[in-house]
């Protein structure tokens, strides 16, 4: 027993050894909550307070439940295989399998994953002859799942307009189809399980008497239906009340509630405290992950949120290093600093896998990926795809490839019916046969198709020809912008639940083309010698296929802040800290949106163990145009004494973005940096040049250099390496 409780701090010990009663454990980031949860189960079993079969433990990921079972096995000489420890979906599946008849399901009912559900909805719309452009399948799936997560069946759903009424009707048809086919989607698992327990009193009492202790991890991420399910099992569901119900032991952190877009209700924590009359709210505030300065910054930031349950993280590991803040002139400059710094860290002994580059939006990864690629640094995008591997980017590139080469069958096959334009598999098969027969490309074979298939494919051919004609004399970024619009890609993604993120990626593709032209201006200066479109497509292919870290290879980690939750790293870079980006523009449109963004920033900060970098840029490419940025309000909320400014970019003024802040020096005048107008200098990338103008002083000093073939460049002397010749 002493071994079980050894090395627990006073708060952890108090939580683990609580008497049988309801409890809320406010566990801060890095405070050892998983250890507390697991040790609590082991202590209850080892002291004879409950048998292994009397415990119900809920986690949010399969990984977490497996880890919990493994820890329990090492703590106690028991067989954990029969224990009810798992995710909400896993436990509900187990319940429905055991009582399938009572639940109105076949014995071998199948579970639809997200893609299966989407396919089922598409099939339903086709069978009912419903226009899938007016009722996009993804949007309808989100509508159905959102209602189920609120515990609302189609029969109870409210509709205040004709469009919603039609969606409710389709929800009812979808329910009937699933019941007929003996399948359930993820949201149905929980709803069907809840309804089974609610209406079947003998079954409900059986499980209420069986599970004496219910333990829940990441309680701040529960939605309304999950909380209702827990209340039902604990004997606290409104009219259904069991005096001697189970003890509910909830562990969570309201400051890390960042999944409102998935239906998570941070208010469940307050509801639990009130409805269960929780007398024991224990705060785990000692952090075992981060140094003091990082925690002080996190505390200062999150205290700006209203209605917190309240806690203050601390550590005995010492203050550690100051938080480094970098202000770049542009997003490229910011990315270059991050990558250079990451390389220096590796040289200093840090392991690549312990360096994380975080960003608010997926589209931000592109400029970071490009710099990593250029520098030859292996990287891995955690929990997502690399920029040029993303579906929407591949679609846009396929259209570009067809404009350049209509005989590209791979590109043709990818987008001939995307967005959907009524070209079915039979039409494609007929086209492939015609191409094979005539020994031609799919594009050229289209002319030989007759009937409905010929008309549908002919429409696509005309689209490509029109795109080619309309973009013939346009610059590359405008070509991409035009085809995104005219191909229907933009309109298609506007109707998707995750469409905003995909549209941000498509806009970033325009930025990628703009940056590519700037970087390669020397080779593309003469259109007769090079084709910008072909060069860019080659660049995209090379960048997509290079520097992907192999299995087991050390690599820098790239991820969104959402994907970083639950992870920790020695070094963390939080990039793009600008208004509109982080906090995101969306926050202003949603109730408590800014507070959710601040919790997200709190999560990002608390991922760092030893060193934290915060970076932002004065200018950022948006839709192929330079946008002037305002630093994130979150930076202002951090105590200045915790920060170390590693540089300050030369400042643009709001009224004079055209470099007029300081008069240029006259010919022959020496600048503060020892350089003069007319002096020859050498640059590592642009080669030999001559200084033609200068402005600013000290950290804000800049020079304009004529590099001949590379053109005129403005360079900040603070970080541009110019060698006098």
Q: State the CB neighbour count (10 A cutoff) for residue 281.
A: 15
Report how far residue 55's alpha carbon sits from residue 246's, in angstroms, rounded to the nearest whole number: 10
Chain-centroid distance, C-alpha 90: 24
277 catalytic? Reply is no
Q: Provide CB contacts within 8 A for 294, sequence distance 6+.
A: 320, 323, 605, 606, 608, 612
Report how far residue 232's alpha carbon sits from residue 207's, in angstroms, rounded to the nearest whole number: 10
Residue 390 phi, psi dihedral angles, 5° rounding: -75, 145
Report how far residue 284's alpha carbon sits from residue 252's, in angstroms, rounded to the nearest whole number: 10
Owner of token pair 């689209």:
463
Report how far residue 99's alpha carbon sits from residue 200's, in angstroms, rounded to the nearest whole number: 11
Q: Provide CB contacts within 8 A for 465, sequence distance 6+.
A: none
The size of the chain, in residues, is 725
The answer to whether the beta carbons of residues 19 and 281 sit under 8 Å apart is no
Of these residues, 34, 150, 353, 626, which one is catalytic?
34
Query: Encoding tokens for residue 517?
Result: 């032209």
Q: Is the peptide bond before 49 cis (omega within 30 degrees of 0)?
A: no
Report how far residue 612's alpha carbon sits from residue 572's, in angstroms, rounded to the nearest whole number: 5
In Å, how far are 345, 577, 612 from 354, measured between CA atoms?
A: 10, 21, 12
Q: State the CB neighbour count (10 A cutoff) for residue 449.
A: 19
Report how far residue 491's alpha carbon sits from residue 81's, in angstroms, rounded to the nearest whole number: 50
- 17-43 burial, b at 16+ Cβ within 10 Å, e below that, comes to ebeeebbbbbbbbbbbbbbbbbbbbbb
Pairing relation of β-strands 240-241 and 236-237? antiparallel
The answer to whether the beta carbons of residues 269 and 250 sit under 8 Å apart is yes
Report how far residue 117's alpha carbon sits from residue 10's, in angstroms, rounded to the nearest whole number: 48
Report how far residue 631's alpha carbon sits from residue 651's, in angstroms, rounded to the nearest whole number: 12
User: Interior CA angle at 44 toward 42 and 46, to 5°?
Assistant: 65
Of these residues, 11, 149, 185, 218, which one is catalytic?
218
Owner of token pair 């409780």:
5
166 catalytic? Reply is no
Of these residues, 12, 59, 256, 560, which one is catalytic?
256
Query: Encoding tokens for residue 530?
Result: 């090079």
- SS3 state of residue 64: helix
Of these residues, 149, 217, 254, 334, which one is catalytic?
217
Residue 229 phi, psi dihedral angles, 5° rounding: -65, -45
262 catalytic? Reply is no
Q: Which ranges in 84-161 belong to alpha helices (H)?
A: 88-98, 114-127, 137-149
Report how far residue 370's alpha carbon sits from residue 516's, in angstroms, rounded to the nearest whole number: 10
217 catalytic? Reply is yes
Query: Encoding tokens for residue 608?
Result: 């760092």
655 catalytic? Reply is no
185 catalytic? Reply is no
Nearest to 226 by CA among 20, 27, 60: 60
- SS3 state of residue 284: strand
Pairing relation of β-strands 680-683 and 687-695? antiparallel
Q: Within 13 Å, how many C-alpha atoms sit on residue 291's CB side?
A: 17
| Per-position DSSP letters for 256-273, written without gaps between them | G---GGGT--TTHHHHHH
Catalytic residues: 33-34, 217-218, 256, 607
């Amino acid at each position: 027993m002493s071994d079980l409780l050894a090395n627990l701090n006073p708060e952890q010990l108090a939580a683990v050894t609580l008497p049988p009663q309801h409890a809320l454990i406010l566990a801060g980031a890095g405070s050892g909550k998983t250890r507390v949860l697991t040790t609590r189960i082991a202590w209850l079993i080892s002291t004879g307070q409950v048998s292994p079969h009397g415990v119900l433990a809920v986690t949010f990921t399969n990984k977490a439940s497996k880890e919990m079972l493994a820890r329990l096995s090492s703590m106690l000489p028991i067989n954990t295989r029969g224990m009810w420890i798992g995710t909400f979906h896993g436990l509900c599946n187990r319940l429905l399998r055991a009582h399938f008849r009572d639940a109105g399901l076949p014995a071998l009912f199948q579970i639809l994953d997200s893609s299966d559900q989407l396919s089922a909805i598409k099939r339903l719309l086709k069978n009912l002859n419903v226009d899938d452009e007016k009722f996009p399948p993804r949007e309808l799936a989100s509508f159905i799942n959102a209602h189920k997560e609120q515990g609302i069946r189609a029969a109870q759903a409210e509709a205040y307009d004709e469009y919603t009424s039609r969606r409710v009707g389709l929800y009812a048809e979808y329910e009937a189809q699933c019941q007929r086919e003996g399948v359930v989607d993820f949201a149905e698992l929980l709803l069907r399980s809840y309804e089974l327990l609610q209406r079947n009193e003998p079954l409900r009492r059986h499980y209420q008497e069986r599970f004496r202790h219910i333990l829940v991890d990441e309680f701040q991420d529960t939605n309304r239906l999950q909380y209702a399910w827990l209340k039902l099992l604990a004997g606290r569901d409104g009219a259904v009340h069991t005096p001697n119900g189970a003890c509910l032991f909830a562990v969570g952190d309201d400051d890390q509630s960042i999944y409102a877009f998935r239906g998570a209700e941070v208010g469940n924590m307050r509801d639990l405290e009130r409805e269960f009359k929780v007398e024991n709210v224990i705060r785990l505030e000692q952090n075992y992950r981060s140094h003091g300065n990082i925690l002080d910054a996190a505390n200062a930031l999150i205290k700006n949120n209203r209605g917190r349950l309240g806690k203050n993280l601390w550590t005995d590991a010492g203050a550690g290093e100051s938080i480094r803040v970098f202000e770049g002139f542009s997003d490229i400059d910011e990315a270059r600093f991050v990558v250079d710094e990451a390389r220096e860290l590796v040289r200093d002994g840090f392991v690549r896998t312990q360096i994380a580059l975080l960003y608010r939006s997926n589209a931000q990864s592109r400029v970071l990926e490009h710099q990593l690629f250029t520098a030859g640094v292996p990287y891995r995008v955690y929990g997502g795809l690399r920029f040029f591997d993303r579906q929407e980017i591949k679609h846009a590139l396929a259209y570009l490839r067809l404009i350049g080469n209509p005989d590209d069958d791979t590109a043709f096959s990818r987008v001939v019916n995307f967005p959907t334009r009524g070209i079915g598999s039979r039409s494609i098969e007929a086209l492939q046969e015609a191409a094979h027969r005539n020994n031609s490309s799919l594009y050229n074979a289209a002319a030989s198709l007759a009937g409905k298939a010929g008309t549908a494919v002919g429409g696509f051919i005309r689209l490509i020809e029109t795109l080619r004609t309309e973009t013939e004399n346009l610059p590359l970024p405008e070509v991409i912008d035009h085809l995104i619009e005219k191909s229907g890609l933009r309109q298609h993604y506007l109707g998707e639940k995750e469409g905003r993120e995909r549209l941000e990626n498509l806009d970033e593709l325009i930025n990628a083309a703009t940056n590519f032209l700037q970087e390669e201006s020397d080779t593309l200066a003469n259109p007769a010698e090079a084709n910008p479109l072909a060069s860019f497509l080659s660049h995209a292919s090379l960048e997509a296929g290079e520097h992907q870290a192999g299995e087991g290879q050390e690599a820098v980690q790239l991820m969104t802040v959402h994907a970083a939750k639950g992870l920790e790293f020695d070094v963390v870079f939080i990039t793009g800290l600008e208004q509109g980006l982080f906090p995101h523009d969306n926050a202003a449109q949603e109730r408590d949106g800014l507070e959710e963004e601040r919790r997200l920033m709190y999560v990002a900060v608390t991922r760092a163990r030893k060193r934290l970098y915060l970076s932002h840029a004065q200018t950022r490419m948006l839709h192929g145009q330079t946008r002037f940025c305002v630093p994130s309000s979150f930076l202002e909320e951090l105590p200045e004494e915790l920060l170390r400014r590693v540089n300050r970019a030369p400042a643009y003024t709001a009224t004079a973005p055209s470099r007029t802040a300081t008069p240029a020096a006259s010919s022959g005048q020496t600048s503060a940096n020892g350089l003069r107008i007319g002096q020859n200098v050498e640059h590592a990338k642009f080669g030999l040049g001559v200084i033609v103008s200068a402005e600013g002083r000290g950290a804000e000093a800049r020079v304009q250099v004529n590099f001949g073939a590379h053109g005129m460049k403005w360079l900040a002397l603070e970080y541009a390496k110019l060698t006098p010749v």
